[in-house]
Structure 1
């Protein structure tokens, strides 16, 4: 199987507290010697380790099988030719770098989530062959190497369509990592807002969606009818002169052999230079890359571009490093642009230069591209687990390609903005690195629980987090909520899981002894009776609530001081929720308590998902779990 939706590197992070010694990490892998500062004996690092390895045997075997001429010119190495790996790695573990900016915007000191971590990159993706670029053989080899190297965190900014776990290389590799105490953080995917589009859905992974931040790179579109529309951009140039320019829908600039719909999307070869030259073109988002639309506008002789959202993209606008003056506006403003063009014989417009705006509201809201639940493989597990910043993120960039990663882009920059769940994933990976340093004995499940149960569902307007369409977002978009690193340090209680719990989960899905060997070499005897409703996940999902009540069992471990926790419940619409017992008293750190949640349909209604929340509180800690119910 190949993973083609978003490519990247697997990143290993060692918190600063772990040292390279005979009692600790052991010798540096031979492939890394010379990459870091060595001690006198040449076998240990005494400086921050930055390593890079590559895995290409699976890719090259496929290339040989299909006799790909494109692959024959490739010399496999660990260099980042696309920018994706540099961006994600620096987000997870980049050190403090002053005077960082994206084309002079967003000036400040840049740092990763774990800025003093030791990091390693494992390159597993290559130029596409028949749309295939990341192969299970290479992904699994990278997991095996990272486990052997002794990393504490794996940040996996890649994935593909969700499939059954025994057919999923990332799920298999991450299981073996989690068995060794390594937390695996993964991207939810960029196929939203389509329901059921989420990927990396195994319960042992921490799956991250993408949401916005309260910083925007803004410019404005001034129309000839005196309307001013706010957009987003990182265009490095402005219009030749401060004056209005002719405005044209790209469909009106279509080439003779192109359809109006293809020209409207500004696809390659669809625009007529005689029609577009000297004008500001209006292109619609979708199908081809946003930066590529700008390139097509340049080739057609346009002086600028207004990129408008389709209805599905709603209000999500993204600042891209366009080569020409451009502005990305939302769907409703795009409708205003088209209405203005139709209202006059001589439509005109002007695009202002980019400026950085801080404290924008509302933020965060969910990115439209962020993949959504429900979980297409196992609906009793809510995915994604969490959301984190993933729109217009500034981070380090390769010098091997331009900021748009197009052959036409000859610019080279040390920092660039990118958007995607590939960007939100390493935010959480960096947080995991810090939590591992603070709590070295916590299991990957405990770390995941701490991050999930302390998340926030409100934006900076103190309202419920929204989708890009301005509708209320649901746990299928954000999981448990938007990550709050400081709260995750002291969650009070955690929902913990062991390797046997995960194997029992697979047993409940019908895995036999042969399939279980894919995940565990040691024999595992499946329990005679095991219900997925008893799997100790930090969220509660009931995909089949009908006339008969459903009972869910959970256990929580005290990781704080002794105290008494009282339950609070926000019931899903049409569902009654009873928690027994309603009070949990902990006398010591490490003590565990069980409780049961009984869910019962109050009335019959239309088949639909409804959402609620269960919270344990001692007055200081609030341990929240989303409740998701398919109500029949």
Structure 2
């Protein structure tokens, strides 16, 4: 990324990122700036030319995530006149450091681990890690290993849940010491409307750079109908490179299908180079429900599946189909919000299903933040546009939202452990949207904790959670013992001698802020937890909301605390109703909750049960 702009300097966070830069909460420590790690990449790809070896952000992704976490207040931020206002990061006076560990083609485990080591040595307080991939074993996962050492040093590590949703069991970065973040929408959209010759109008999404020359109708054609004679229909319908015939496209609005393989970036340049005046990006799958406000190179509107189907039918049945695309506008407020992004990866946890993942959800759709002017705003080499800000979407964007909040909590409560900070954010999160209804997914059905974890972040409540669920490194090591990792492997991740306890460690007693019970069957299951008081003396009473067919009893039902730091334990007794067991009515996961309240604080834990 090069030198850290002065407007981003402050008291601290650190971001390790995909083609990235980093944020850090150094407080009174030295400001490191930007560093890069390439030995692992070089081992696979060989030595590169001298200009390659730089911490500069040549992709934009790192600048974007860094400024979300720690960017200072900047007035007049806009993307082509849209979303105009004052922008800031989650921890706006943070001192930031960049640790670039990814290069064109991927991220080497050796470079990721080197980045973690450097960040720990530099004394960062928060690591924001917007990268990752699917893993089958925590002890072979470089992010899990690096973050373990960071947490052992008191560093909070926040990570992305992944962009492989909406399928279940797609979440990654599932180590229990990681803070895993899903992505959801905000109450703002960038909207462009499509009007057809029959006066039918459709609402789409766009951040197009240009407008149509005038408000008149233009001829409408599909990519298939506009294909070159030598092009394949399968390629032309997506408007892939070199497929459109200039003679057929020039002066028209072309309809291109959203390309699941190449993404939404390739159709626009092809349509534009073929002479199209505009483009309708049409979803050809009911599962595509995320409409990203992309900085298209020509007037464009991105439409959903049902609207796209209507337009296809209109073109086929009209002799002279025509359309008009409006200039994008900023719409506020959007109801309902937050909505879970369909791209956001879902649980359950594929490595250790007894730990609910993701942990939390935060804004990750159409987020405006800083961007590197070393690359085009679209990321395309053919695009010469350079801007300091853009809108991007992904769990890469939701991750630093949480990192910024962690930075603030670290300032307010420097004595809190990484697990305590994580607990404070999780137990104060909300399961409701801005109209007080259950959070929805992109199909506007009620989302589950496998999509949002404990819920959507509420920073103001996290600073005073009342009670926290704390964990230390020994707890994590005992958990690794319980999932049958041997001493040698555990010592490899811990880098210190460690002997697993002789007694059998009960996974149900792992002091996580959520409770997951697997294979309940006809058993009565006990799960123990310990809460620590971080507020004034008070008495907490419990309320539970049991899943259908499940009974939940908490013993004791009241906890009295006389001082800060006092700990109390309780037991959660879970069993299935007899008729449910006999009828086999519960064959999948069901969800409930447990809430401790003293009248001022609500400490909520999600309960996940599988019969």
TM-score, normalised by the number of residues in structure 2: 0.93
Q: Is the contact made by 2:255 and 2:279 (CA closer than 8 Å) also made in structure 1?
A: yes
What is the aligned partner in structure 2 of residue 89 from structure 1? 66
Q: Deviations over 1:36-70 (max 9, x none)?
A: xxxxxxxxxxxxx4610000000011013xxx9xx
What is the aligned partner in structure 1 of residue 590 from structure 2? 610
What is the aligned partner in structure 1 of residue 22 from structure 2? 11
Structure-2 separation of matches of 1:231 and 1:384: 30
Structure-2 separation of matches of 1:596 and 1:294: 58
What is the aligned partner in structure 2 of residue 267 from structure 1? 240
CA deviation after TM superposition for structure 1 residue 485, in Å: 0.6
What is the aligned partner in structure 1 of residue 39 from structure 2? 57
What is the aligned partner in structure 2 of residue 210 from structure 1? 183
Q: Helix, strand or coil for the counterpart of 2:104?
A: strand
Structure-1 separation of matches of 2:520 and 2:246: 59
- Structure 2 gaps of 5+ residues are 1-16
- Are positions 1:541 and 2:516 aligned together? yes
Bigger drift between 568-577 and 302-311 goes to: 302-311
- Are positions 1:291 and 2:302 aligned together? no
- Structure 1 gaps of 5+ residues are 1-5, 20-24, 29-48
- Are positions 1:225 and 2:206 aligned together? no
Structure-2 separation of matches of 1:150 and 1:486: 27
Structure-2 separation of matches of 1:269 and 1:368: 31
Structure-1 separation of matches of 2:287 and 2:50: 38
- Are positions 1:451 and 2:425 aligned together? yes
Q: Is the contact made by 1:247 and 1:341 (CA closer than 8 Å) also made in structure 2?
A: yes
Picking from 57, 76, 95, the partner of 1:80 is 57
Aligned-pair Cα RMSD in Å: 1.6
- Call closer, same or farther: CA 1:580–1:311 in 2, change over 3 Å: farther
Structure-1 separation of matches of 2:126 and 2:306: 42
Picking from 132, 148, 152, the partner of 1:159 is 132
- Are positions 1:348 and 2:322 aligned together? yes
Bigger drift between 609-618 and 327-336 goes to: 327-336
Aligned length: 588
- Call closer, same or farther: CA 1:310–1:552 in 2, change over 3 Å: farther
What is the aligned partner in structure 2 of residue 37 from structure 1? none
Q: Is the contact made by 1:196 and 1:373 (CA closer than 8 Å) also made in structure 2?
A: yes
Q: Is the contact made by 1:265 and 1:288 (CA closer than 8 Å) also made in structure 2?
A: no
Runs of 4+ residues deviating >4 angstroms:
71-74
TM-score, normalised by the number of residues in structure 1: 0.90
- Are positions 1:620 and 2:596 aligned together? no
Q: Is the contact made by 2:181 and 2:399 (CA closer than 8 Å) also made in structure 1?
A: yes
Picking from 518, 527, 534, the partner of 2:492 is 518
Q: Is the contact made by 1:12 and 1:146 (CA closer than 8 Å) also made in structure 2?
A: no
**1:435-474 maps to which residues of 2 (within 5 A)?**
435-474=409-448
- Call closer, same or farther: CA 1:327–1:443 in 2, change over 3 Å: same
What is the aligned partner in structure 2 of residue 309 from structure 1? 283
CA deviation after TM superposition for structure 1 residue 428, in Å: 0.5
What is the aligned partner in structure 2 of residue 559 from structure 1? 534
What is the aligned partner in structure 1 of residue 142 from structure 2? 169
Q: Deviations over 1:325-378 (max 9, x none)?
A: 001122222222223223322221100001111111111101111111111111
Structure-2 separation of matches of 1:73 and 1:221: 48
Q: Helix, strand or coil for the counterpart of 2:574?
A: strand
Q: Is the contact made by 2:202 and 2:303 (CA closer than 8 Å) also made in structure 1?
A: yes
Q: Is the contact made by 1:219 and 1:233 (CA closer than 8 Å) also made in structure 2?
A: yes
CA deviation after TM superposition for structure 1 residue 598, in Å: 1.7
